[in-house]
Structure 1
Amino acid sequence: MKEFMLMEPTNLTFQELFSNGMRYAVPRFQRDYAWGLEQWEDLWSDLSTLHEEHYHYMGYIVLQRKEQYHFEVIDGQQRLVTATLIILAAMKQIQDLIDAEQDPKNNKERLDELRSRFIGSKDIVSLKVSSKLSLNRNNKRFYRSVCSQLAAPNVRGLTVTNKLVKKCFDFFYKQKIGVAGHEIAAFVEQVTSGLMFTRIVVQDNLNAYKVFETLNARGVQLSTPDLLKNYLFSVITGKDDVPDEQLDELDEDWSAIVDQLGENTFTDFTRYHHNFQKRLVTKKGLFKSIRELADTPESSYSYVRSLAEFAPVYASLLSPYDEWWALQDGEYRPARHYLEGLKLFNIKQPFTILMAAFKAFSPDEFIKLLRYIYVLSIRYNVICRHSPNEQERSYNRIAMRVFHKEFTRASHVKNSEEFRALYPEDSSFINAFEFYKMPSRRSSKKIRFLLAEIERFLGHEVDYTKTTLEHVCPYNPDQGWYDHFGQGANEIADRLGNMVLLTKDDLKRSTFAQKKEAYLLTPFRLAHKVAEYEEWSLKNVNLFQEWLACQAALAWRVD
């Protein structure tokens, strides 16, 4: 919180942002302009209420100070560019009035004043505008043309992003801003004094990253990929000796990374990617450590290529049924089942090992390793519910040894000191399982998965997604069950020992005798076991779950 407050967030209007000679530059490798019709329409709708509300909040803008009045836009360029294009569209409407000889003297004065206040100054020889806001390498020239000509160049071969700049300018130009020059000028005055931003100024990329993490943790989603890209690409081009063709290729690689992962997943990916190469870092220390990892043009270039290489692996570890797996060697097919289990229980800590192993191990060894980690995860994370902190530290040490090819087989991981220290022994696992509860209304899918795994171990292949969860003593028992079972009926609702799998949920509040007959007609092994009991009581729930725990210890076992 202290670091965040040092950045002195300030609420400023668009007018105040662009006053007193302030100049802003979107870094050369920042993302391209990308807003579309939905955002333009939403903003125009908000602007229509300014005469009543007076202010419209535009969110955070994060700037890095380069000189006293010169800033780089780390986050917020989409909003700044769009606001400027609105002003340019209004200026074009005033230019139309001048061309039609409507109050030309006053309108010319209005036009010049708007240009100097919000757009920039014109060179008296070339008539090109030196913009107060300059954009990245893909948008800069096109945007400058709009500023100079008050028209979007109508040329062939426009890139997607410059088509969006053109369409944005055209969209606002077509709006009914005003009939006379003074009305249009009043509209610009209202907009520029009514659009409110929270400005945060940082001194370097590291502080910017801390701001991003602070705000993102509060639910304000700033673009962490943009920040990291800006740093890496500025290092790569530090000597200004990288050909444009190579930069374009890197730019495409970066776009592919973000497209595959999405911005919300990006930080997790970079952290797991980092943690199989270097000592474990938290999210707070990630950016600083990456700067050490990629501090030269050569190492930064290699780092970007490594991110591009591992991004599809990480994305597919998150998505067991992603089509990417179908493109891999057929030996990887069993991976889907184990990854589905990890995804179901939201277990991501192993990904740092699995990413390194995918590149370092043969398919057969990778699958063996994945199974070992899956078994450990069920024991350690799901049933025993141990803290993941020590697990992350151990996984980091294992992952680095895989990455550096000290471990080349799954057995090397399984027999390592770190793995064995994490692996709960049978006695601990059985003790935790014997009285294990899980809220069955919220976690039915997870419970069905666990019970289906035990069914498979007992010789019954079953797809858990095609089963229903049957509570032996009903979740909401009627009086007959209370008379039969006693008050303990309420205490066992979420005990695994009171649940079995069935194909259909037809039994509802049937008596235990009726349920036993139905259980024996199914292929489900756990239902058969429950049918062996003469009555369903708390004692027999405990006995069944004790038996279930022993089967689970055999089903999830690393020998």
Structure 2
Amino acid sequence: MPLVAPNKARLVTLQDILGATFRVPAFQRLYAWGMPQWESLINDLIETQAISKPLFLGMCVLSNTGDEYEVIDGQQRLTTLAILLSALQDTSIVRRFDDGRSELFIIPQEPDGVWLKKLFNREQVGIPSRYSQKLLYDAHMFFEQRGDCVTAEHIKKSQMILYCSEDLQGGTSLFERVNMRGREVANIDLVKNRLFDWSSKITNACIRSALEGEIKDRFQAIFRNLNPFSDEGEVDPDSFLRNHWILFDPEYTKTTDFSNMVQEVDDFLRKRTLDYRNDEIKFFNEISNSVRDYIHSLEEVSILWRKVTAPRHNIIDYQPLQDALVSFNRLRREANFLPILIAALKQWGERPDTVTFVKLVEIVCFREVLVHSQSNKSRTAKWSIAKRIFRKDLKLRDAVHELFWEACPWWDMEEVKRLDPQSAQTTTPEYLASSAFDDPSAYDRFYRVIHYFFWEYGKWLFKAAEWPETRQDVSVQTNDQWDATFRKLEVEHIFPRNPQDADDKLVKDRIKEMRPYLNHWGNLTLLTKRDNASLQNSNFRAKLEAVLEDNSALLFNKLLRNKDYRGNLLRHAWSPNNCRKRTEYMREFANTRWGSAALRQFELEQRVETDAGD
């Protein structure tokens, strides 16, 4: 006898359903619950156990496929309950057969299904390779620590309503209306469900079945592409969905409202099928063609999006391109530039010209950070360029010129006078990127890119002819070092904000002098967490000794003992003069990396007329 008949609902306990098999379809998202949802579940179970009441878990929407049930809504809850019971060493979640086989009552998508089964059987699982597996493992560890607060008996008394839909479309529609617990439903899930809604409009069973199969296959591939490696952190599928839409819809120009992507996709399909409403066959075919166009593009962009956002973990055969994308990602400011980079990879592939273009994007991005340029006009210009690259309407040479002339802030007044003399009269210092190095609040305004800046500074110093003490045969700054140590360094003020000897009259005078320079670029560096904790309020001499002893690999700190670099100390203390002198050397480097000197490779001496083509 089935647990629940088609188009029927039934109130059940977890104990009632442990003998059945629930499978998460491959076209669903993978496990995504985290600490907030785990804590909420265990706290609810503790509270209901204290008053001897079963916990109500809402509705689970299923689709019957013979001997199994496909889970349309409820996979996160059922999987988490199974993990909780496993943590309590309850074996009822694993069905064992006479022939030696065993099967979980809830079977996630592969490869997570096999991995979770090993975890439940206490077999060696190794280090999680994907983020979804890391979440499964972390959930198991969490409940091993907290699970003894509740009994397996009480957990199995938890109640839910099972609803079995007669068809897929009915299940996905109900999913949107009854999702009650856990995370807010992601737009990408709603869009997927809406595509199934559109397929249900096709009354021809063969055409409808073929389209539903295509939607399932494509979303299975998309969710696999979007499942990050375990050390990457969580991926935002809605961000991917928005960036794809910017490229896919040539008419889309909104810069702020992405709240209803379902409506955008709905409108697109409605426009494409409007002229065929009175011809059933053409109407069915146009739905199929339009949905396929969308999901095939979505799958293609999912591959490119992962290459752009996580280049170290994806197969990029051309090493210079991987290096360029890794460098860009260290900025952590990629949101407005993702469409243009995705379009560039799609159109030009893995070749030297693409590397050059990515380097220009990084320069434009960092300049925008320095001038705080986030205008809708600049964003619209970048999106326009991205759309035309995506549609093969813009040559690479023209894309380089348009990106610079339409979206790139000026570096300094010399650059303005050389490239666009007419603008010199109206350009003010706050719109010049190099002026950021005079900003007295650099620590607050540029905190998110300080690590990136010093990383690039260190890379430059190891081969800088001007400073013999920093030259090395091989750079110690590798991608592995960035991940393992560098990005974990802490920002330190060379002259402390709260000096230990603040009661000393000379120090009091220096504090007054240094007040405008405390958060200045010239007063900032990076230290390990240990050194920062022990030295944060020490004087310059103590910091210098510790820095040279323990952080010789940080070349920008090694230079602090060179008086040609920092200037003379005033009574052995760091002063405004030292800040100014050090800042000028930092500005010189910045000019070679992101300034006018860096633009020479792009041949931007004058505007060019753009034309279509590849």
Q: Common fold, TM-score beyond 0.5?
A: yes
Matching of residue 426 in structure 1 with residue 423 in structure 2 = no
Q: Which residue of 2 aligns with 1:452?
A: 458
Name which of 297, 303, 307 aligns with 2:294: 303
Tell me the alpha carbon deviations over residues 80-111 of structure 1, each in whole angstroms, 9 at most, x when there is no partner.
9999xxxxxxxxxxxxxxxxxxxxxxxxxxxx
Name the TM-score, length of structure 2 as normaliser: 0.54
Q: Which residue of 2 aligns with 1:259?
A: 227
Tell me the alpha carbon deviations over residues 157-197 of structure 1, each in whole angstroms, 9 at most, x when there is no partner.
999786579x99xx9xxxxxxxxxxxxxxx99x865xx699
Q: 1:297 is paired with a residue of what secondary structure?
A: helix
Name which of 316, 322, 336 aligns with 1:333: 322
Distance 1:543 1:40 in 2: 53
Matched-pair contact (CA < 8 Å) for 1:384–1:432: yes
Compared with structure 1, are the counterparts of its residues 210 and 475 closer, same or farther at alpha carbon in structure 2 (3 Å cutoff)? farther
Matching of residue 473 in structure 1 with residue 495 in structure 2 = yes
In the TM superposition, residue 228 of structure 1 has moved relative to its aligned partner by 2.0
Matched-pair contact (CA < 8 Å) for 1:477–1:509: yes
- Code of the residue aligned with 1:373 in structure 2: it is V
Instruction: Structure 2: state its 5+ residue gaps.
Output: 1-9, 13-22, 62-70, 82-94, 110-115, 121-153, 163-169, 271-286, 413-431, 466-470, 601-614
RMSD: 5.7
Structure 1 residues 322-471: aligned runs within 5 Å = 322-325=313-316, 328-343=317-332, 346-362=333-349, 363-381=351-369, 383-387=370-374, 389-409=376-396, 411-416=397-402, 419-427=404-412, 428-435=432-439, 437-439=442-444, 445-446=451-452, 448-449=454-455, 451-452=457-458, 455=461, 458=464, 463=477, 465=482, 471=493
More deviation, 469-478/308-317: 469-478
Matching of residue 537 in structure 1 with residue 537 in structure 2 = no
Compared with structure 1, are the counterparts of its residues 208 and 14 closer, same or farther at alpha carbon in structure 2 (3 Å cutoff)? closer
Matching of residue 277 in structure 1 with residue 275 in structure 2 = no
Q: Which residue of 2 aligns with 1:488?
A: 513
Distance 2:73 2:107 in 1: 22
- Code of the residue aligned with 1:530 in structure 2: it is Y
In the TM superposition, residue 426 of structure 1 has moved relative to its aligned partner by 1.9
Tell me the alpha carbon deviations over residues 46-98 of structure 1, each in whole angstroms, 9 at most, x when there is no partner.
668646436666577699xxxxxxxxx97557659999xxxxxxxxxxxxxxx
Name the TM-score, length of structure 1 as normaliser: 0.59
Name which of 180, 205, 211 aligns with 1:240: 205
Distance 1:323 1:274 in 2: 23
Compared with structure 1, are the counterparts of its residues 254 and 483 closer, same or farther at alpha carbon in structure 2 (3 Å cutoff)? closer
Q: Which residue of 1 aligns with 2:262?
A: 287
Matched-pair contact (CA < 8 Å) for 2:188–2:237: yes
Matched-pair contact (CA < 8 Å) for 1:256–1:308: no
Q: Which has the larger radius of gyration?
A: 1
In the TM superposition, residue 350 of structure 1 has moved relative to its aligned partner by 0.6
Matched-pair contact (CA < 8 Å) for 1:375–1:556: yes
In the TM superposition, residue 511 of structure 1 has moved relative to its aligned partner by 3.5
- Code of the residue aligned with 1:392 in structure 2: it is R
Tell me the alpha carbon deviations over residues 17-44 of structure 1, each in whole angstroms, 9 at most, x when there is no partner.
xxxxxxxxx99997399899x9999979
- Code of the residue aligned with 1:31 in structure 2: it is Q
Tell me the alpha carbon deviations over residues 197-223 of structure 1, each in whole angstroms, 9 at most, x when there is no partner.
9xxxxx9999998999xx99xx94324
Q: How many matched pairs?
A: 429
In the TM superposition, residue 378 of structure 1 has moved relative to its aligned partner by 0.8
Instruction: Structure 1: state its 5+ residue gaps.
Output: 1-12, 16-25, 64-72, 84-150, 172-186, 198-202
Give me the identity figure in percent: 18
Compared with structure 1, are the counterparts of its residues 414 and 255 closer, same or farther at alpha carbon in structure 2 (3 Å cutoff)? closer
Q: 2:263 is paired with a residue of what secondary structure?
A: helix
Matched-pair contact (CA < 8 Å) for 1:342–1:348: no
Compared with structure 1, are the counterparts of its residues 514 and 273 closer, same or farther at alpha carbon in structure 2 (3 Å cutoff)? closer
Distance 1:292 1:35 in 2: 29
- Code of the residue aligned with 2:499 in structure 1: it is P
Q: Which residue of 1 aligns with 2:191?
A: 228
In the TM superposition, residue 531 of structure 1 has moved relative to its aligned partner by 3.4
Matched-pair contact (CA < 8 Å) for 2:222–2:299: yes
In the TM superposition, residue 266 of structure 1 has moved relative to its aligned partner by 0.7
Q: Which residue of 1 aligns with 2:130?
A: none
Compared with structure 1, are the counterparts of its residues 153 and 294 closer, same or farther at alpha carbon in structure 2 (3 Å cutoff)? farther
In the TM superposition, residue 386 of structure 1 has moved relative to its aligned partner by 2.0
Q: Which residue of 2 aligns with 1:497?
A: 522
Q: Which residue of 1 aligns with 2:541?
A: 511
Distance 1:30 1:59 in 2: 24
In the TM superposition, residue 380 of structure 1 has moved relative to its aligned partner by 0.4
Matched-pair contact (CA < 8 Å) for 2:325–2:358: no
Distance 1:204 1:58 in 2: 21
- Code of the residue aligned with 2:594 in structure 1: it is W
Distance 1:81 1:458 in 2: 55
In the TM superposition, residue 403 of structure 1 has moved relative to its aligned partner by 0.8
Matched-pair contact (CA < 8 Å) for 1:33–1:162: no
In the TM superposition, residue 277 of structure 1 has moved relative to its aligned partner by 2.4
In the TM superposition, residue 456 of structure 1 has moved relative to its aligned partner by 6.7
- Code of the residue aligned with 2:266 in structure 1: it is R
In the TM superposition, residue 492 of structure 1 has moved relative to its aligned partner by 3.0
In the TM superposition, residue 447 of structure 1 has moved relative to its aligned partner by 5.1
- Code of the residue aligned with 1:221 in structure 2: it is E
Compared with structure 1, are the counterparts of its residues 441 and 478 closer, same or farther at alpha carbon in structure 2 (3 Å cutoff)? farther
Matched-pair contact (CA < 8 Å) for 2:55–2:158: no
Compared with structure 1, are the counterparts of its residues 206 and 446 closer, same or farther at alpha carbon in structure 2 (3 Å cutoff)? farther
Structure 1 residues 18-167: aligned runs within 5 Å = 31=28, 50=48, 52-53=50-51, 75-76=73-74
Compared with structure 1, are the counterparts of its residues 205 and 291 closer, same or farther at alpha carbon in structure 2 (3 Å cutoff)? farther
